[in-house]
Structure formats: C-alpha cells, structure tokens
Structure 1
C-alpha cells in the first residue's frame, strides 16, 4: 500500500471534481505505460520465522540498507522509515511486513522486467549480509497469523480494528497474502470501459494461471489460490466483481458513485491517520464528517479513499489488475505480459472482448466462487477454464507480437508470456507443482519451499 502523501492538494467542493480526477487519467497511446507491483514475504534464513520491524536485521534496518547502499530516499512516519522512493518507483510495507516494489511507469515489459531484476538483485545482496530471504507466494505457507509482527503504520492500526467487523479473513489478507499486479493506461472513457470489462471478466483466468497458495500453516488448505478465496470474506463493501461495470451507461461517473458508497477507513491530517472507519465520504463532501466537522475533503483524501477499495480490477487514473498470486521471478514478468498483450493492442482487445461479451453475471460469479479452489479445472460453459485460458494466452501472445517492442537481439515481448503458455497447455500451476513436491520429495513439509523458491 502507498506511503503517506507529501502534498494534500486542493479542497473538493463538487462531485464533478471527483469525476474529473478519473478523467485526467486518459492518455494518448504514445503515453501509455506499464507499472508492475509485487509483494514478497521476508523471513529469517536460519529458522524461517517472520522478520519484525525493529532490531538488528529487522524490516527497518533492511529499508535503511536500501537507502544507504542503493540511493533510495526514506519516507518516515514518526521516527520510522515506512517506505522508500527512487524516481517514480517506491518500496512500501504491507501490514505483516510484506515488502512491495511499486515500479516506475515504463514503456515496455523489457524495461519492467529489468526493473524487477535489479530490485531482486538488491534484495539478495542485502539479504546475504542481514540473514533474510524473500519469498513470493499468494499466501504464507507456514506462519500463523498470531506469529506475524505488524508494521508501524497508522493506517494499518485503523484497518486492523475495523476488518474483523466486516469479514472473517480480512486480517489474513493484511498479514499473510502477497500479489503481483500491473497498472495500465486508457485513452478515453470508452477505452477505459472496454478494458475494465475485459479485464474484470478475465481476472479469474489470471487467478487460475498464477495460483500459488495451496498451504496454510504447513498443511494443504484445499485451494489452488487461497489468497483469492480470502477476498470473498474480507469486506463486502469494497470487494467483489462489480456487476455494474457491465451495465449500459457505465463510465467514470458510475465508478465515482460506487466509490462514494464505500465506507471510509481514515483521513490523514498533520502527519496522523484519523479513524474514519465506517463513515461516509458523501458526508465528507458536505462538510459533515463527524471527525472533521465543517471541513471539506482534499483531493488527496479522495485519492487515499480510492486505495481502500479492493475489487479484482481497480480504477484510479489507470486500471489495476489485482487477481494474481505472487510467484517466482519469471512469473513477475509474465503477469504484465498477459495484460499488456490483451489490452494494449487493439486487435487483441477486440478478440478478448468477443470472447467474454456473452458471459452473464452468473457466469462471472461462478468463476469468482469456484476458481480459488479448482483453478484451471473449474467447469465452465461445457468445458473447463483451462480451455478458456489457452485462448486468452494465445490472444495475449499475438497482442505482444503486434506491439513489436523489441530489445537486445531483436526479441519482442512475447517470450515473457511463455510460462503461462506452458501452464495453460499442461494445466500444471505452481500450486499443483508445490503440492506434488509436498506429497513427494518434501515428505509432508513446506520448509524446503523457502530454500527452493526464495528470490
């Protein structure tokens, strides 16, 4: 999640300003970029335990080493470094100490994959000296929730208190999950709507292809993507597959209305997060927020509020693809390859829309319900989701070829999607691979996972 803002922006006096905020995201094709984010668990190499914030070799010390060795600029909350920035990229902390790189907006997957590689090389260098490793999976395979230290960020205390009032798995989402996502641009409202609909409908395919969370506290949990299942019992006000996106007339205004009806978490004033959990942003617009009576929201209050909605695809001034489990290094590059291939080439986008436009609300709801457990084996329209995944990956690969963004020896971006081509063809997801090893060579232990799959 993002670091506290450094500038608070202008007051909001009219709902139209909220719509204009989203409209400002529209960009000509030449200005479209790719922003890749990925989270990972930080563990002690000697005993595979979580790393706390404080102390020698703690999360705070790790952030300090990024500052000292590699020129990252610290962002502090009180006396604690809680984020780092470098150019347009930032490193931030999830509630349970998950380490997140939010990459810079870049022109090609070649560039974003190089950025991932540089970051993980820095992780390895610091980890070698401080005795930690980092692991990318959708759900932590070993730790109990009670064993995980919380990070010293004000917004997380508010969320920690509020989450159990809305669902039984919200605290697990905060402390025991990791994801990889990509943020992509749109040209206009109409382009946003088409991309939103395609990506929202196809998000379960990404969930199935990237499924990598089959363990809970050292044992199989019966899911391919337990991380995805967690979102079904986190907070119904701010999660789900948003059926209204597929209704006639959907656009920026309709999304603003949805966002206004999502209860608030907090407001940020004078370096402090104020507890606004359950309060209404509509009341805030009218100067009637009980914790700030008579005060109008600022534009950064709105941008903060937009980060507290958790649908499978999230609209800000760009679209965020949020359906995938974190995973090994190569799959961090495959996720942007999938969505860039589908959404950044017109012919591919048309083909993807043709594939999903006949799906009903019931079709999409059944996928959202069943894919976390069944993955690519989910029954769908007379076949399985694996059949659909093969078509989707093929469309994306052709879209990447058509983009013709080359590097090095003239390779285009299509090779980044090859891990997904293999998964769709074989049906063998990372979740299945891990379960096979658990039942075979690992002899019923998840501990070898930390050695074999850590970055």
Structure 2
C-alpha cells in the first residue's frame, strides 16, 4: 500500500470523480506493469515475528533500506513507516502486521518486473541477514496467533482496526496475517476498462486457485487451500466482493464512482493527522461535509484517492486496475502473477477470447466460484468441469498473449518464461498449497517450522 496522498485540489461534485478515473486512460504503447508483493518478516533464530521497535525490528530494517537505496523516508508521527523512490519509481511500505511490501515501479516489460523483484529480494536480504531477519513467501501467517502478531505504528491502521471489529469476523486476520501478490495494469479508454475489469473479476477466483498458498494457520492445516481467499468473505461486505453491478449493461466509470462514494469511509488526512470518520460516506462529505471536520471542510482529490485505497473488491479501480486475488508465494510466483494477467489483458486477441469464455457466466455462478475456490481450489466443480480445466484454458490464453507481445530480453527470450509456474500448476493439477500440505504431512512430520526454511526468500 503506497503512501496516502495529500493532493489539495477541491472536488465540486461527482462528475469530477468520474473524470479523475477516466483520466487514467492511456494508449497501448504507454501501458505499464506495476507489481506489488508482501512478505512476512521473521527472526531466523527463533521464528518469532518481527516487532516494529528494538535492535532487530522493522524500524531498523527500514532505516537500513533507506541507507542502501537512498529513498525518501515516509514518516507517521515521527516513526518511519515506509520509503519512496524520489525518482517516481517504487515504494516500500508496511502492512498492519509488519508484512513488508514492495510497490513496484510502473515498468514496460515482465523482464524489468522480474529484475526489480530479484533486486528487491537481494536488498532486503542484505539488510535483514545481519539483523537475523528472514522473509517468508506465503499467503497466510502459518505459525503465529493474532495476539502474537506485532502492530505497526501507522495511524490509518489504528482506525481500520477499530472499525473492522464492527463489520466482520475476520477483518483483523486480513490486516495482520495475510500476504498477497498483485499487479496493476492500465486501460486505454472506458470500453477497454470495462472489458478488462469484467474479465478480471470473472477470472479472479481462477487466479486464487492457481496461486492458492495459505493452508496452514497457527501450526496446523486450516482446511483451506487459500484461507486468505476465505478471509475476504468475512471482512467487510460493503467494500469487498466481485462487483456484480460491473456486468450490468451500461456499466462504466460513473457506476464505479456511485458504488465507491457510498462505501463507508475510514479516515480523512489533514496535514500529518488522520481523522477518524469511519462509517461516514464520501457522498455526504461532498454534499454537506462531515461532523468530525470543520463546517466548511470539503473533500479534495487527495481525499478521493485515499478513499479509493480503502475499498477492497476483487479488482480495484483507480486510474488503473488492480488484480487482487492471489496469495503471496515463492519468488517465481511474484513474476508469474503479473505474467498471467499481462498475457490475458495486454494482448487484444487473448482479452477478446477471455471475454468470450466468461461473458455468459451468471452472477450466481461467479459468486459460487468465489465462495468455493478458497477451500477446493483447482478441484472446484464448475459447469460439468473443474476450475482446473478453466485454469488451463486461461493459462493457455495468457501464454499466447505473452508470445504475441514478443517483448524480448537481451538473450532473445520472450516473456512466456515467467508464466512457467502457472503452467506447471495447471499441468500437474497441484497447487502451491498442495505442495506445502504434502510436505507437512510427510517429510516435515507435522512441524510447521520447516516452512520457514523451505519457503523463505
């Protein structure tokens, strides 16, 4: 999650919000790939979580990264909580439980994306190893209880934590004990956005199945392939889900704005202060202000951008689209997740074929997929087939799309190589979660600690 914005441009009405989203449209030659991934830090000597403070804490890790990279510190009430590339590239931020996140720079090719991933992981090892800190690529904290999980000193998270308890049963697990890989992709115009959003929403459960990697909780199997995927169903129904209205005739930027302005807010940022306005609506904020603020205080573009970052549908729209369905995982899968979606959405023929594949899926079928996949992943029944069969079709479309993109590296290889982990999964029918469970029940002898050795970056 990148830093909160402070753009003070005033908003006069809903039409400006629609125009703000529409302004993200770009011609294909300017489309970029922005990859984000989270990982769990742990102390390598005793496998304990990494607190914020102390000689081997997150604060030390961030200050070390600041010295290594020369990036600008992001500070909240005197505490360093992230780093930003002053040249406009990526950012490092903290999730609520200390998950260490890289929000990658907008890059042209998957070759650049994978180089960025490798460089970042080498950098965190360089700083982390002397501190006795390692990093784990998995979708759900496999060992620690919620009570054992540290809390990062970010003001927005304190507001969110208090509100989550009111609206769902697993919101705190989502915040503190899950990790994801996501990719942010561009659109050309409104019709292109609509098709990409719809394909992304329909196929997001398929990505959840392919990347399912959260089968352990508090040291034992939790009964799910992707418990992270299940947690989202119990977080906050107002701001999550598959956006069924996106498939209605006439859907576009306006309809997304109309949904988002009625999603309950969390906070408003004024200067360096976060003001708790949880439960209020952006619609009311625009119309009459909010009782927690000065009477003449009205929303700005910065407020709108911050609010958009607090809605959590399966595909989130800003001035680009965020694919949000995948569990965190080993380093090859950090490159594979963007490869899957770039191949599907950045090649017109693959996008058109993907839309043909999903366009007659009903609202009920899409929701049934979302509900079933966290537990049964690739074995989930769907239309007299299995999700595995759909995943194979989607992976092949992605492979063809990457081949047609024909973006070559210096050695003459195209981007299809980064899809290999996906192709291995859909060929074998075994998810990353299956592999973990097999080891847990076999060679690990039921000892969850082994995951920290074998799945650390």
Q: Pick the TM interval, shorter chain.
A: over 0.9
Uncovered stretches (5+) of structure 2, i.e. residues with no partner: none
Match of 2:430 in 1: 428
Uncovered stretches (5+) of structure 1, i.e. residues with no partner: none
Match of 1:44 in 2: 43
Deviations, residues 256-282 of structure 1 (Å, cap 9, x unaligned): 000011000000012111001001111
- Does residue 317 (structure 1) correspond to residue 316 (structure 2)? The answer is no
Per-residue deviation at 1:287?
2.9
Match of 1:2 in 2: 2
Per-residue deviation at 1:243?
0.4
For the Cα contact (< 8 Å) 1:276–1:291, is it kept in 2?
Answer: yes
Match of 2:80 in 1: 81
Matched residue SS, 2:37? strand
Larger mean CA deviation between 289-298 and 169-178 belongs to 289-298
For the Cα contact (< 8 Å) 2:138–2:455, is it kept in 1?
Answer: no
Match of 1:34 in 2: 33
For the Cα contact (< 8 Å) 1:287–1:295, is it kept in 2?
Answer: no
Match of 2:92 in 1: 91
The 5 Å alignment of 1:287-366 reads 287-292=288-293, 293-366=295-368
Per-residue deviation at 1:396?
0.2
For the Cα contact (< 8 Å) 2:174–2:232, is it kept in 1?
Answer: yes
Matched residue SS, 1:402? helix
Match of 1:70 in 2: 69
For the Cα contact (< 8 Å) 2:138–2:214, is it kept in 1?
Answer: yes
Per the normalisation by structure 2, the TM-score is 0.98
Measured in 2, the distance between the counterparts of 1:2 and 1:291 equals 25
Per the normalisation by structure 1, the TM-score is 0.99
Matched residue SS, 2:296? coil
RMSD: 0.7
- Does residue 262 (structure 1) correspond to residue 247 (structure 2)? The answer is no
Deviations, residues 366-397 of structure 1 (Å, cap 9, x unaligned): 10010000000000000100001000000000
For the Cα contact (< 8 Å) 1:3–1:82, is it kept in 2?
Answer: no
Q: After TM superposition, where is structure 1 displaced by more than 3 Å over at least 4 residues in a row?
A: none
Matched residue SS, 2:3? coil
Measured in 2, the distance between the counterparts of 1:158 and 1:182 equals 26
Measured in 2, the distance between the counterparts of 1:136 and 1:281 equals 36
Match of 1:391 in 2: 393
Match of 2:104 in 1: 103
Matched residue SS, 1:75? strand
The 5 Å alignment of 1:212-251 reads 212-251=213-252
Per-residue deviation at 1:3?
1.8
Per-residue deviation at 1:409?
1.3
Matched residue SS, 1:145? coil
Measured in 2, the distance between the counterparts of 1:80 and 1:222 equals 38
For the Cα contact (< 8 Å) 2:315–2:322, is it kept in 1?
Answer: yes
Deviations, residues 205-240 of structure 1 (Å, cap 9, x unaligned): 100000000011000000000000000000000001
Q: Which of 402, 419, 428 is 1:400 aligned to?
A: 402
Match of 2:59 in 1: 60
Number of aligned residue pairs: 454
